[in-house]
Chain A
Amino acid sequence: MLKDITLGQYFPGNSPVHRLDPRTKLIVLVVYIVALFLASSWVSYGVMFLFLAISIAISRIPLKALAHGMKPLLFILVFTGILNVFFTPGETVLVSLGAIRITAEGLVRAVFMMLRILMLITGTFLLTYTTSPISLTDGLESLLGPLKAIRLPVHELSMMMCIALRFIPTLIEETDKIMNAQKARGADFESGSLMSRVRALVPILVPLFISAFRRADELATAMECRCYHGGDGRTKMKLLRYKLLDYKTFTLTLLLFSAMIVLRRFGM
């Protein structure tokens, strides 16, 4: 069923990772991703892995949930692995079949690439699993705040993102309902040629679009009724403020980043 999509779902909790300021988590994630691309040896990958593993342990997100969210991305992971195994030039040839050659370098590289993607995705999931969409957009708005100086409508953008995130589950539920209703009228989505399957989507998409527009209209009216007029002069109930925990996290992340640079400098 469609409801089983858990990509980036928020898992409510009260762990230190949940309590971090969303800005801290966003910055740490960016630094973490850059550091991940600096890693190039078993040692540096080990350090990165340790950092990730400890973060997951502290967040108390069940590994099962993380693995479940990973499922739709399995294809990309395997594809990257295969691509790297076959198309990395190298000296030590292990298997050679005509034009296809598998080298030791290729294998190592494939493993590194897969590890990198895996750790990148897990890190991102950790952010979305421990941060509610609202605080995530709040954090983003605050971080992008300086861009207001060049007339970028930061508040409006973050409001749009917030609304979009908010309505994903609603629309999924709606799609489920419409699919069932059309199935009850004998619609068949599972068999037939590609063309007839595409055509079978019309009875779902038309009602879905209409209801999305209707919802947008209602939401806009409701917001106007409460005098919403954009970000000017708007105050917040929950002000974002860095706490001791955030500073500790920044220090740790800085340490990690320096370690990666040093390791790379020494070719490790």
Chain B
Amino acid sequence: MEPILQIKNLHHVYSRGTPFEHIALEDVSFQVERGEFIGIIGHTGSGKSTLMQHMNGLLKPTSGSVLLDGEDIWANKAATRQSRFRVGLVFQYPEYQLFEETVYKDIAFGPKNMKLDEKEIDRRVREAAGFVGITEQQLSVSPFDLSGGQKRRVAIAGVIAMEPEILILDEPTAGLDPEGREEILANINAYRGAKNATIMMVSHSMTDVARMADRLLVMNHARLAMDGAPGAVFARADELVEMGLDIPDVTRVFLRLRQLGLDVEPVYTVEQAVMALSRLKEGHCHA
């Protein structure tokens, strides 16, 4: 099957021809398969946000192309607009974009812009609210009366209600407490499971991306530095640290164990760590 999203030789230069010229993306190419969960990591200013805003046509590439289902999203105006609905983008701190009188109306903003009929809008609002755990009563209150974590989930529901095939989130868990973080990540997984959606998530938490993603993209100095499975990427720990990035805590522990002479494979999630340790223990018992 054809990949749902193809990024080809993407370049982006800000404020071209002025003293403030700044290259944000340089020759970035990759493909996204339907249903994948991709984690995007990179230090601040590495081009992650610029990259995200190319996926739904908010930014126009200086050169290169973005193909959605094989069609260039800049082919014509209708294609660009269509890409806005098919690729849902959740910005950082999305709760600062809430504006309606009620939670219901705010979630309905996207579907309304899609010119859907009342019944379809209603179905989508309720379904989206369900994915993020917003109750029936909360739909009729003002979004500004909710807690920080709830606001964030309403804002995410506002994008999910458009039922995008690709959902892109920029640090969806930034500034939340551990409980709020777990909830948001579970909400994202629920949406992915129900709609077989493709997810791309930017995160600074290596532990989160290691746990959630099937594939990692590493951005460094406007370029795509690595593209591979979490295991393969985290195996190159030295390079990641050199880029100013981190590795999951458990990976760091295991790399140190190896240095100390223990025979363990590098792991990147706690589950894997438990398995590796119990294997090790069994080995010792049999020996």
Footprint of B on A, CB under 8 Å?
3-4, 177-178, 180-188, 202-203, 206-207, 210-211
Contact = CB atoms under 8 A, between A and B. Distances in A.
Contacts of B113: 185-188
Contacts of A187: 109, 113
Interface string B78-99: 0001001100111100101111
Contacts of A181: 89, 91, 94, 97
A185 B128 CA distance: 14
17 contacts: A3-B15, A178-B97, A180-B53, A181-B97, A182-B97, A184-B88, A184-B91, A185-B84, A185-B162, A186-B81, A186-B110, A186-B113, A187-B109, A188-B81, A203-B97, A203-B99, A207-B96
* 7 smallest beta-carbon distances between A and B, as pairs: A186-B113, A206-B99, A184-B89, A185-B110, A181-B97, A181-B91, A203-B99
A181 B94 CA distance: 8
A186 B114 contact: yes
Contacts of A186: 81, 84-85, 110, 113-114, 162
Interface of B: 15, 53, 56, 58, 81, 84-85, 88-91, 94, 96-99, 109-110, 113-114, 144, 158-159, 162
B109 A203 contact: yes
Given A178-B96, A186-B81, A211-B96, 15 more contacts: A3-B15, A177-B91, A178-B97, A180-B53, A181-B89, A181-B97, A182-B97, A184-B84, A185-B84, A185-B109, A185-B162, A186-B114, A188-B113, A207-B96, A210-B144
B159 A185 contact: yes
Contacts, number: 54
A188 B56 CA distance: 14
Contacts of B110: 185-186
Interface SS of chain A:
helix
B4 to A, nearest CB: 18
Contacts of B97: 178, 181-182, 203, 207
B91 A202 contact: no
Contacts of A211: 96
Contacts of A188: 81, 113
A218 B154 CA distance: 24
B253 to A, nearest CB: 38
B91 A183 contact: no
Nearest to B158: A185
B135 to A, nearest CB: 22
Nearest to B93: A177
B58 A180 contact: yes
B99 A202 contact: yes
A252 B99 CA distance: 56
Nearest to B164: A184
B109 A184 contact: no
Contacts of B109: 182, 185, 187, 203
B96 A184 contact: no
A185 B98 CA distance: 12
Nearest to B111: A186
B282 to A, nearest CB: 51
Contacts of B58: 180, 183-184
Contacts of B89: 181, 184
Tell me which of B15, B56, B97 has the highest count of chain A C-beta atoms within 10 A of its own C-beta: B97
Contacts of A210: 96, 144
